[in-house]
Amino acid sequence: MTIDPTVVVTAGALPRKEPTMNTPTHAVVVAIGADGHTAALHFGVAEALRRRRPLHLVHVLQSPVGRVYAGIYNDMLDLAKRTLDAALATAHRLAGGEIPVTAELVDDGWVVDDLVRGTEHASVLVMQHRALSRLTRVFSGSVVAGTAGRAHVPVISVPETWEHSGTTKGFVTAAVQDPTEAPGLLRAAFDEAGSRGARLVVLHAWWLSSGYDAVAVDDAARAEKAALFRAELEPALAPLEAAHQDVRVSLDVRHAPPIEAVLDAGDVSDLLVLGRRHHLLPAGSHLGPIARVALARSTAPVLVAPEQTNDREEGHQGSS
């Protein structure tokens, strides 16, 4: 689509026709951004090869805000096409013909809305997050966090510093805050650990809000807390262990601020698995604070598991 460059385009002047994305069923979808996508692309190709799923690249050209000359929009469109073409060539090279690779450009899009709607029948959505300043995040938000908070499928956020080295750390860590809400998150974590041949670490971190942990918590209190967590988690954990006997599981009940514990776990894991909603937030809420910080600061890829509606009706849902 090329527009007369002398025309002024005003966003919102005409009703927007929602694009229909042609995402292959069960595909691994990689969001290609003009501001960086190398880590996500390499991770996505490896993920598609491991899952034996088709790979689909998507670039959403955000609709301009306010009035903009059509010539500028045409330049944006040309850049989007070049960006996607280059990513597609790289994906074909990395995939080596072992899986189908396709690409799609949405040229009048709303990034979060289109990614959420267009990946409903995908296997997983892979995105890349940048290390933005706190001020930038306050005013612009995070596309990754916005998408992960609404997507119908798991979203894996890959830090821009991640590199595919061919070696693994051998651990997948699932952060569980409330054992009664854990089954959906744990199912995703067992699947990921099993397919990777990795050990699964179920992490639960706790910290007193009073600020008196140093004097109020002793070894006996820590042991009691660990035993209580193990007992509460057993009903959710036992059937999954029986169904995934090839996955080695360990529990890590840690007396530490939860955000610090999750970030530390990311440093020694191939993947962090988190739930979307903080257990104290109402159903349908956006990301909880731990998931949001992990997406911004984790050194490991972070999988955000979507809310499991059926689980929740039975009192089961993933949490972070």
Cβ pair 54, 99 in contact under 8 A: yes
Predicted confidence band at 142 (pLDDT cuts at 50, 70, 90)? confident
Specify if 318 maps to a domain: no
Asked if residue 291 and residue 204 are part of one domain, the reply reads: yes
Q: Where are the beta strands (DSSP E) in the chain?
A: 8-10, 28-31, 55-62, 67-69, 101-109, 124-129, 155-159, 171-175, 199-206, 249-255, 271-275, 302-305
Asked if residue 223 and residue 247 are part of one domain, the reply reads: yes
Give the whole-angstrom CA distance, residue 94 versus residue 49.
10
pLDDT in tens, 234-251: 999 999 999 999 999 999
Give the whole-angstrom CA distance, residue 320 versus residue 184.
11
Which range among 77-81, 85-89, 244-248 shows the weakest confidence by mean pLDDT? 77-81
Look at residues 107, 131, 159 and tell me which one is the last residue of a structural domain. Answer: 159
- Please compute the mean of the pLDDT values over residues 45-65 and round it to a whole number: 91
The total domain count for the chain is: 2
CA dihedral 213, 218, 223, 225 (to 10 degrees): -30
Cβ pair 149, 316 in contact under 8 A: no
Count of CB atoms within 10 A of residue 79's CB? 13
CATH number for position 274: 3.40.50.12370
Asked if residue 136 and residue 108 are part of one domain, the reply reads: yes
pLDDT in tens, 145-187: 999 999 999 999 999 999 887 789 999 999 998 887 788 899 9
pTM of the predicted protein model: 0.85
Tokens of 233: 């988690």
Asked if residue 123 and residue 236 are part of one domain, the reply reads: no
Asked if residue 144 and residue 253 are part of one domain, the reply reads: no
CATH number for position 29: 3.40.50.620
**Model confidence at 64: pLDDT above 90:** no
Asked if residue 223 and residue 294 are part of one domain, the reply reads: yes
Look at residues 129, 159, 189 and tell me which one is the last residue of a structural domain. Answer: 159
Specify if 1 maps to a domain: no
Specify if 231 maps to a domain: yes
- Give pLDDT, residue 315: 37
Domain residue limits at 270: 171-313
Specify if 126 maps to a domain: yes
Asked if residue 238 and residue 303 are part of one domain, the reply reads: yes
Specify if 198 maps to a domain: yes
- Give pLDDT, residue 72: 74
Q: Cα–Cα distances in Å, from 294 out to 139, 180, 258, 287?
A: 19, 22, 11, 11
Crossing angle (nearest 10°) for helices 183-196 and 219-243: 70
Asked if residue 196 and residue 142 are part of one domain, the reply reads: no
Asked if residue 84 and residue 126 are part of one domain, the reply reads: yes
Specify if 319 maps to a domain: no
Asked if residue 141 and residue 217 are part of one domain, the reply reads: no
Asked if residue 306 and residue 184 are part of one domain, the reply reads: yes
Give the whole-angstrom CA distance, residue 36 versus residue 95.
20
Cβ pair 17, 1 in contact under 8 A: no
